[in-house]
Structure 1
Amino acid sequence: MPRILLVFCIILSVSCSNKRDYKNSSRATGWKMIGRTGGSASNYNKTTKEQETGPGLVFVEGGTYTMGRVQDNPLGEWDNTPTQQHVMSFYIDESEVTNIMYLEYLDWLKRVFPPEIDNYKYILTSAIPDTLVWRNPLGFNESMVKNYLRHPAFSEYPVVGVSWVQAVNFCEWRTDRVNEKILEEMNFTARNARYNVTGDKLFSTHTYLQAPTLTYGGSDSILSGGKRASKLLKYRNDSTAIGAKNISLYLQQKDGAFLPAYRLPTEAEWEYAALGLTSIREYNTHKGRKKYPWDGQYTRSGKRQMRGDQLANFKNSKGDYGGIAGWSDDNADITAQVKSYPPNDLGIYDMAGNVAEWVADVYRPLIADEYNDFNYHRGNIYTKDSRNPDGSFNVVTPNTIIYDTLQTGKLIPRQLPGELVQIPVDENETYLRTNFSTSDNRNYIDGDLSSRRYGNKDSQEARPMYNAPVHTARIDSAGKVHRQYDKSSHRTTLINNEVRVFKGGSWRDREYWLDPAQRRFMPQYLATDYIGFRCAMSRVGAKAIAKKKPRN
């Protein structure tokens, strides 16, 4: 072989052998991305996948819309002035949370926190809906008082008598139970462990991600009882395996297995989902406006198959909660079974009528869109994990449960056992920041010190913008409740940082309130027979699930 050809072949073979295969390597360093089986970049999942849709949820692709636009405002309150907002993609419950869903929550609390144990005696009672909301001094509603929550005939009806605080606690419980099931199905925990937990051995999603060994009370038989966990433990003990000592026996955030938290939807999200604007959008053009979650300007269907049928459960007129019995009736005098009426264009049921619904926001008359028009929400309270000087986490135990006393005199646990203790953020997180400066932002730019008005031009003493009544309650060492009703005659408003927005009309409301842009408020610790709720979940990753198709 000629010498020049031999040199060429050697160069070619060397260059071919030096080709790098970056398919399973880092684009930053070129190191192997071996995943959970070790390696220099172990535990990183290079391949990504779409977020799974959690139980009961419907996907809502985010976008821009006019929040607060109503066609009628006879009350003249002007608290829903139109403002253009953008919300990110999210998920929302297909229907309101039902009695049977809430009873599952109550049964779990009763089983895990037996009320006869002193440390637990207020946990179950703090979550039970107020069934007395059905009573009326001039009405005979005792049947609903006794039956509405627990009788199987009402199992698929929306739960009512639930305060905003109780709704938030349900969402947190639901998050942990869904993720606990995922953890077991991935064979990290012992089979059926979730059915046999006790108050001192509980799963918390946040605790598991931050300090997994504190989950389930640190029980190795649960935490490492799954087949996959056992396999990982065996691999980590293999001294010949590359990176074996760096293997984590627990799922981590970067594994992408857990779902984001269930929560109450923000006001902007709820209104956007209720409108279901897809029916007035044709590719990149908008056509028309929507007054209701359905198309058209009337509450009865114009479709041929169901012409004349009511599209929501609401109060038609004075003394008319359903219409004359028969064909034109809306089939409900109080609440109706969920999914009794057609869904909106997003596939979401009962976004008008049936029950009004709690949303996450603290109420203010105006939306401060000049400060933010992206994922608008008033009510942020930022916290952080409480840690000891040595860096260890503090976890709530059955002996360290803290109960808050509501203005009604009822006790409610601040956190449940198994959760990491939360404290307000401080200067360590806020110093020299430009985006936030305090832990509690419910009053931001509307009622805080910088936005208060003065009593008169000669006075330097600031007067609060919102001086709502302050009712107090405390429980003494003997367990007796002491309530103090605010009788001041100088109160000028009912607005404070503990009133929350609720949206949508209900079975008790006239057609006026069915417009998704309408908004009302109520103290977060009170409940009624016409307010329920549904959960939402943030979307992580891509804005859309399906790829956009070309018009032609």
Structure 2
Amino acid sequence: MLNPSDMQKLLKQNAVLLLSVSLLVVSCAPKKDKSSVTGWTYNDPQGNGFRVAKAKEQATGPGLVFVQGGTFTMGATQEDVMGEWNNVPRRVTVASFYMDETEVANVHYREYLFWISRVFQEDTAVYNHALPDTLCWRSALAYNEPYVEYYFRHPAYNFYPVVGVTWKQAHDFCLWRTDRVNEEILFEKGLTNKKAELQKQMQGGGQENFNTKAYLLGEYQATPGKNMKEFKDPITKQTPTNISFEDGLILPDYRLPTEAEWEFAAYGYVNQNPQPRKKEKGKRGEELVANKQVYPWSENVNGLRYTRHGSMQGEFLANFKRGSGDNMGVAGGLNDRAPITAPVKSFLPNGFGLYNMAGNVSEWCADVYRPLSSEDMDDFNPYRGNRWQKVDMSTGKPERDSLGRIKMVDVTDSESNNRRNYQRGNVINELDGDSSSQVFYDYGKTTLINDHSRVVKGGSWNDRAYYLSPGTRRFLDEDHSDCTIGFRCAMTRYGSQEGNGSRTGNWFDKRRQNSRKM
């Protein structure tokens, strides 16, 4: 048994040890982020409850390739042999974005149709509306009937580009893809219960399916997963049923690329713009605005054939029609080996890693077509087709339509007329030379285009070489389709413009900054 003096000594030692442990725990506690504006801490139960997700880069969605933006000369790069003069050269800037590595293939579109058939079992009209027009292969004076039956569904054509799809159908595919990708992200992160969600959606009712906007607005109640507890409120300690957009996990919308994005991506300039070498930090790649290449590929950029010595010498670099009656060359010496389309990963990718940005199929763009778009549009992210909408709050809260999407209404002119940056909700016709815009290019000239005419870019398997140049452009009504037109999706890039791991703006070390102080 300890005597009183030893007991007192032991108690003092224990007190010192306890104090040391307490200080160690405090020093090891994670440092909370603090607002540089108010001084309040973020994510702090003792603070005001404001929750801020850790800064993170945008993830790359499935099938996408990062396209670093920049300035380039949009429009014609060769003689206007068609006499249309609808692609007047103009220097513009495109912000960085993502684009599909390949054209959307038959198997991808069949996956879309399969999902519709499972989820909308009670509404066959939704399925029928999404079906591509396989009759697009028919010709009054050609025997193409086998393609009508086999091209879209036979496994031999699984990875050939889907055709016979209207602009509207391509747009709807992008909406569907956004929801499926974000739904899978939530499954993978354990934020929603995959088994319960699939069971709920596959009952065939239709409306009760995951929609990104409905989920973020709280109008679609997903079954929480095991990891949702990580997002509990720091004050109430309650676990939410849905995460928010500010958590940075939900990807932006898949969409059709703008004409400027498509054309910029097709050139693949990055492959010819040397980046600074590690040993030469002071040197930078010069701008290639003056580079007037004709075709997308990085080998022989102004020619149609592979020019390096070897087994590939002289082979065509795209799937196109060489001349009348020559879709693939002669037997024993085929020039592109494809009488119609070819697999989406055939031929060489361009500098950005994108396949078939010339030839194979032409592709839908988001823009409404106007012959003189280059003279009308802004020089940063040029685009014609804005028709702004907002969430329909007529019942006091957001609601979903029969497809499970949030109901939207058009922004009215009366809501816009006091703004300085736009005065109408529908600006498709903004400054386009028609009577309502009060802008006139020339008297008495008319056109067959309308507000439903959409831009088509890139040559196809049945086009001459002229249309292989990214600067050429054509149009088709958005509810029409063709056996030469397909599409690929794009996505906006948020944050740093040089990709993940890079900063926005030029940053200088403290020593250099201090030396510049007055």
Shorter-chain TM band: 0.7 to 0.9
Distance between the aligned counterparts of 1:192 and 1:39, measured in 2? 38
Paired with 2:345 and 2:364, the residues of 1 have a C-alpha distance of: 19
* Cα gap change, 1:317 to 1:164, in 2 (>3 Å): same
The answer to whether 1:302 aligns with 2:298 is: no
Give the distance between the partners of 1:173 and 1:298, measured in 2 at CA: 39
1:522 aligned to which of 476, 479, 483: 476
Matches within 5 A, 1:430-469: 430-446=416-432, 447=434, 449-451=436-438
**What residue number does 1:382 align with?**
388
Q: CA deviation at 1:437?
A: 1.6
Q: 2:250 aligned to 241, 254, 258, which one?
A: 258
Residue 43 of structure 1 pairs with residue 58 of structure 2:
no
Alignment pair present for 1:109 and 2:116: yes
Runs (4 or more) in structure 1 with deviation over 6 Å come to 452-456
Aligned equivalent of 1:135: 138
C-alpha separation in 2, matches of 1:39 and 1:227: 27
Quote the Cα distance in structure 1 between the aligned partners of 2:166 and 2:101. 21
Once the two structures are superposed, residues 364-398 of structure 1 have per-residue CA deviations (whole angstroms, 9 ceiling, x without a partner) of 00124465101000001100001135x3112213x
Match of 1:361 in 2: 367
C-alpha change, 1:227 and 1:23, in structure 2 (3 Å) is closer
Distance 1:279-1:393 versus aligned 2 partners, 3 A rule: closer
Q: Note the residue ranges of structure 1 that are not aligned, 5 or more in a row.
A: 1-16, 237-241, 398-415, 457-462, 466-491
- Shift of residue 97, structure 1, vs aligned partner: 0.2
The corresponding residue for 2:410 is 424
Which segment drifts farther, 434-443 or 185-194? 185-194
Q: CA 1:384/1:244 → structure 2, altered by over 3 Å: closer, same or farther?
A: same
- For residues 361 and 232 of structure 1, the distance between their equivalents in structure 2, rounded to whole angstroms, comes to 42
Separation of aligned partners in 1, 2:207 and 2:263: 40
Number of equivalent positions: 458
Partner of 1:511: 465
Tell me, what secondary structure is at the counterpart of 1:195? helix
Q: For the Cα contact (< 8 Å) 1:358–1:502, is it kept in 2?
A: yes
Paired position in structure 1 for 2:224: 225
CA spacing shift, 1:333–1:379, aligned 2, 3 Å: same
Instruction: Report matched runs for 1:88-107 at 5 Å.
Output: 88-107=95-114
Q: Cα distance 1:370–1:157, how it changes in 2: closer, same or farther (>3 A)?
A: closer
SS at structure 1 position matched to 2:373: coil
- Cα distance 1:454–1:303, how it changes in 2: closer, same or farther (>3 A)? closer
- Residue 316 (structure 1) aligned with residue 343 (structure 2): no
State the 1:327 CA deviation. 4.2
- Classify 1:530/1:257 alpha carbon distance in 2 versus 1 (closer, same or farther; 3 Å): same
| Unaligned 5+ runs, structure 2 | 1-25, 275-284, 508-518
Cα distance change, pair 285–534 in 1 and its aligned pair in 2 (3 A)? closer
Letter in 2 for 1:341: F
Q: Secondary structure, in 3 states, of the residue corresponding to 1:92? A: strand
Deviation (angstroms), 1:57:
0.4
DSSP-derived class of the 1:244 partner: coil
Deviation at residue 246 of structure 1 after TM alignment? 7.1
Change (3 A) 1:448 1:442: farther
Q: Tell me the residue number matched to 1:83.
A: 90
* Residue aligning to 1:144: 147
Q: What is the root-mean-square deviation of aligned Cα atoms in Å? A: 2.7
1:485-500 alignment runs, 5 A limit? 492-500=446-454
Q: Distance in 2 between matches of 1:260 and 1:106?
A: 23
- Could you say which residue in structure 2 is the equivalent of 1:271? 263
Give the alignment's TM-score, normalised by structure 1: 0.78
1:452 deviates by: 6.3
Give the match for residue 284 of structure 1. Answer: 286
The alignment status of 1:341 with 2:347, answered yes or no, reads yes
Residue 159 of structure 1: CA displacement? 0.1
User: What is the aligned partner in structure 2 of residue 293 from structure 1?
Assistant: 296
The CA distance in 2 between the partners of 1:535 and 1:455, in whole Å, is 36
- Is residue 495 of structure 2 the alignment partner of residue 544 of structure 1? no
Quote the offset at 1:360 in angstroms.
0.4
Partners of 1:134 and 1:538 lie apart in 2 by: 34
Q: In structure 1, what is the equivalent of residue 401 of structure 2?
A: 396
How much has 1:76 moved relative to structure 2? 1.2
State the AA in 1 paired with 2:490: A
Deviations 1:471-529 (A, max 9, x none): xxxxxxxxxxxxxxxxxxxxx53111000010000000011110000000011100000
CA distance 1:251–1:326, shift in 2 (3 Å)? farther
Query: Aligned pair in 2 of structure 1 residues 455, 208: CA closer, same or farther (>3 Å)?
Result: same
